[in-house]
Structure 1
Amino acid sequence: MIHVESALKFYRVMAYIVGVMLLLLCVAMVVKYGFDNDTMVAIVGPIHGFLYMIYLAGALNLGLKTRWPIGYLLLVLLAGTIPLLSFVMERSVRDRVRKILPATA
């Protein structure tokens, strides 16, 4: 079960990072379309995209180790594309995985 614990830890870190980057990307979109300045989007967009790919790998790794149903796995994978959803799903994932992990002393 130590592999599941490390996969959960990696997923949680990536969920927060991707969630913050997505919020920054939303701010960047407001700056781009509201103030006609696309510099922030040009910087934050590719960074979020790269980090989202790492998030996908981490979520898929955790989902396969814990044998999530395909619908739940897809929801977790898509959580990095909807603002604030990665934070909500992180808590759901954490609770779901902790239920299957044995209690530690």
Structure 2
Amino acid sequence: MQGALTRYRIIAWIVGVVLLALTVGMVLKYGPADDATLVETVGQVHGFLYMVYLVCTFDLSRRVPWPFKRMLLVMLAGTVPFFSFWAERHVTRHWVPVAEPALSE
């Protein structure tokens, strides 16, 4: 389970950063710069990485018995700027059980 959590945390941060870059690209495209280059390149990268994010989230949700609604909410976190960072932190702190340390004899 620890490997699935680590993979999820890494891809959540990557998807979050790329989504922020895509948001900046959207501002540049529809703002005064009128330049769509960043959106065209980063948009495709974000689309691919979001699919990897979905797979990692599904893997984690199967290893940690989450309800279907929670899994969907975490999956949707990769579509809203800054929300994937919040979801990653919330998943790590609240929704994944921490293994108890072994008792020393």
Q: Normalising by the residue count of structure 1, what TM-score does the alignment of the two structures yield?
A: 0.91
* Corresponding residue for residue 29 of structure 2: 32
Q: Which runs of 4+ in 1 moved over 2 A?
A: none
Report the counterpart of residue 20 of structure 1 in structure 2: 17
Residue 36 of structure 1 deviates from its aligned partner by: 1.1
Question: Is 1:43 matched up with 2:41?
Answer: yes
Q: Secondary structure at the match of 1:101?
A: coil
Unpaired runs of at least 5, structure 2:
none
Q: Which residue does 2:98 correspond to in 1? A: 101
Q: How much is the aligned-residue C-alpha RMSD, in angstroms? A: 1.0
Structure 1's unaligned 5+ residue stretches are none
Greater Rg, structure 1 or structure 2? 2
**Structure 1 residue 103 displacement after superposition:** 2.3
Structure 1 residue 59: Cα displacement: 0.4
- TM-score, normalised to structure 2, is 0.91
Task: Give the Cα separation in 1 of the matches to 2:80 and 2:21.
Answer: 12
Taking the TM superposition and a 5 Å limit, the aligned residue runs for 1:26-105 are 26-34=23-31, 35-95=33-93, 96-97=95-96, 100-104=97-101
- Which has a greater percent of helix? 1
Amino acid at match of 1:57: V
**Once the two structures are aligned, what percentage of the paired residues are identical?**
49
Equivalent pairs counted in the alignment come to: 100
Return the letter of the residue paired with 1:82.
Answer: V
